[in-house]
Amino acid sequence: MKGGPTSDAPLVSVVCTTYQHERYIAQALDGFLMQRTDFPFEIIVHDDASTDATPRIVREYAERYPDLIVPVLQAESHFHKPGSVTKAACDVARGRYIATCEGDDHWTDPDKLQLQVDLLEANPDATGCFHYTQQIFDGTGAPGRIIGEHGGRTRFSVEDTFSPYALCHYNAFMFRSHLQFLPDWYATIKSGDMAIFSMVAAQGPLLCIPRVMSVYRKHSAGITAADAAEQKAHHLARIRLLKLLDEQHGFKYHGAAVEAIAVHERELAKLPSAHSSGFRERVLRKFRSWTGGKP
């Protein structure tokens, strides 16, 4: 059965953030709606003032499923503060658990929510869980790598989140909602999913279900698909995030943070020199747009 009416207290809040996703948002919503559960859930869709048809599509779905879908349609974009978008969406959530997904990705397994809730209910020490995600390339549909697979490991600590790459994909994550602690700097970072994984894991282990249950669509509009200037800004933003997390955790995992930062520094060294004409300005402009001007 699908989640019950939102007049019942939902056990799970599905939190979907979306922006300019008119080609994809219906597929994401259908993936939420197909979930088979023995508990009620709600679907919160936060649109960040898209100028395409995304808000219209979200409204149409909300009208068709008023007991399930809660639309949050912003009039002004907060794209320059990506962390604030996630926080605004999570603040609306009423569930004991939060399951996350962005509007250009989608779930493929109708039992995803049930399996994740069952796992967390059976493991009260665990603070969150994730599963495998299939990467596909938009346009061709060609499969890429499996995200979230770590050599068969199924249990992870906060130290594992100090990595140059995310532990899992954001669309695969579920966590206990009372653990969502977002510091002031969260609104000024890129890769907010990595920060959430780390802060949730600080309260207890993260578990993995070794099963592909979602798709990550890699396309040219994605954050990590960019020219050299944007790639450089991306690595600088990751380094800043790792330093903030290192401090947030009281430098308990400093060695792991240093190792992850070194990977990004090596990648930076491969990119064109910032002394080339206009390159440095493009890097700084992109970096500042992601951090609200924060160093």
Element (H, E) at 135: strand 128-137
Q: How far apart are CA 294 and CA 288, in angstroms?
A: 7
Given a cut of 50, the residues of the chain with pLDDT beneath it are 1-2, 4-6, 80, 221-225
pLDDT in tens, 178-213: 876 778 888 888 888 999 999 999 999 999 999 999
Q: How far apart are CA 57 and CA 76, in angstroms?
A: 18
* pTM reported for the whole predicted model: 0.87
DSSP label of 49: -
pLDDT in tens, 94-133: 999 999 999 999 999 999 999 999 999 999 999 999 999 9
Tokens of 221: 């509009």
Q: Coil, strand, or helix at residue 187?
A: helix
Tokens of 35: 């979930």
Q: How far apart are CA 122 and CA 109, in angstroms?
A: 21
Q: How far apart are CA 295 and CA 292, in angstroms?
A: 9
Q: How far apart are CA 289 and CA 88, in angstroms?
A: 19
pLDDT of residue 221: 46
Q: How far apart are CA 216 and CA 141, in angstroms?
A: 11
Fold exhibited by the domain 12-218: Spore Coat Polysaccharide Biosynthesis Protein SpsA; Chain A (3.90.550)
Contact yes or no for 166/191 (Cβ under 8 A): yes
How do the domains of the chain map onto residue ranges?
12-218, 228-291
